[in-house]
Amino acid sequence: MKIVSYNVNGIRAAISKGFFQWLAEENPDMVCLQETKAQVNQLDLTAFKKAGYYSFWMDASSRKGYSGVSILSKTEPMHIEYGCGINRYDCEGRIIRADFENFSLLNVYMPSGTTGELRQDFKMQWLSDFSVYIQQLLIDFPQLIICGDFNICHQPIDIHDPVRNKNSSGFLPEEREWMSQFLSIGFIDTFRYFNQTSQQYSWWSYRARAREKNLGWRIDYHLATNSMRDQIVDARILNYVKHSDHCPVLLEIR
């Protein structure tokens, strides 16, 4: 089973750049999209159905054209959970979960703190609340995959210039420490489970030809609970796919 996570930076823009053609070629079983930047009524959902997917969308009700997450699945989920039950996050459309017979798939678009102190404070509060939310969720859903844009580089290997970026949101010591603690509650960073090489990134700035020079950050993840370790087959970054400033990341499970 192939599960893709992809921050499309606007699903309508991605579609105009060949998203559906790529989807047909890659043929994943499930796709988690972040930063869809669209309300459901702005989309032609029949196009996703024709592509072979059930589609489920969590919009940002507080601001049109902002944030938003979606799950596409060839298998119909047993249940879809929209949001985490905390309104200040749910109004930004940041979490959607699909429950299947043998595991649950949670898609998350974590806040960025790059616009200033106010949003960085919001991000840090989110990280604290998200940890509590997931630990409670694991009681009922021990077979859990969390994927999405975390807006955090965990280790120096995950960023092109760790020295110059040591005070940048997304690579702050407190964010990296949070990531270490979060993994320690029982999650596997599936990409690093298979791949320890450097210069493997999933996001590049649009500025200064960063993607061409591979000056990137690895901020998109598939995390799987330790209980799913034997089901993990492979994890890769599909850095040749170019509909967005991010690229898709792929997880294969049995």
Report residue 171's pLDDT band, with 50, 70 and 90 as the boundaries.
Answer: very high
Tell me which residue has tokens 């998200």: 130
User: Given a cut of 90, is residue 31 above it in pLDDT?
Assistant: yes
User: Given a cut of 90, is residue 21 above it in pLDDT?
Assistant: yes
Q: What is the pLDDT of residue 64?
A: 86
As a whole number, mean pLDDT of residues 153-163 equals: 98
Please tell me what DSSP assigns to residue 159: B
Query: pLDDT of 64-75, one tens digit each?
Result: 889 999 999 999
User: Given a cut of 90, is residue 63 above it in pLDDT?
Assistant: no
Residues 6+ apart with CB under 8 A from 87: none
Select which of 149, 158, 189, 220 is catalytic: 149
Of 29, 1, 5, 19, residue with least CA distance to 250? 5
Q: pLDDT > 70: what percent of the chain?
A: 100
Tell me which residue has tokens 């120096």: 156
Give the dihedral of Cα atoms 182, 184, 186, 192; nearest 10 deg.
90
Q: Which amino acid is at 76?
A: E
Number of structural domains found in the chain:
1
How far apart (Å, rounded) are the C-alpha atoms in residues 244 and 108?
A: 17
Strand partners for 54 = 73
Mean pLDDT, the chain, integer? 97
User: Given a cut of 90, is residue 181 above it in pLDDT?
Assistant: yes
Report residue 62's pLDDT band, with 50, 70 and 90 as the boundaries.
Answer: confident
Cβ-contact 92, 60 below 8 angstroms: yes
Q: What is the pLDDT of residue 11?
A: 98
Residue 66: CATH number of its domain = 3.60.10.10
Q: Does residue 90 have an active-site annotation?
A: no
Domain interval for residue 244 = 2-253
How far apart (Å, rounded) are the C-alpha atoms in residues 155 and 131?
A: 19
Supply the pTM of this predicted model: 0.97
Q: What is the Cα Rg of the chain in Å?
A: 17
Q: What is the pLDDT of residue 9?
A: 98
195 CB-contact burial (10 Å; exposed 0-12 / middle 13-18 / buried 19+) = middle
Q: Which of the residue ranges 10-24, 59-73, 149-163, 217-231 would you say has the lowest mean pLDDT?
A: 59-73
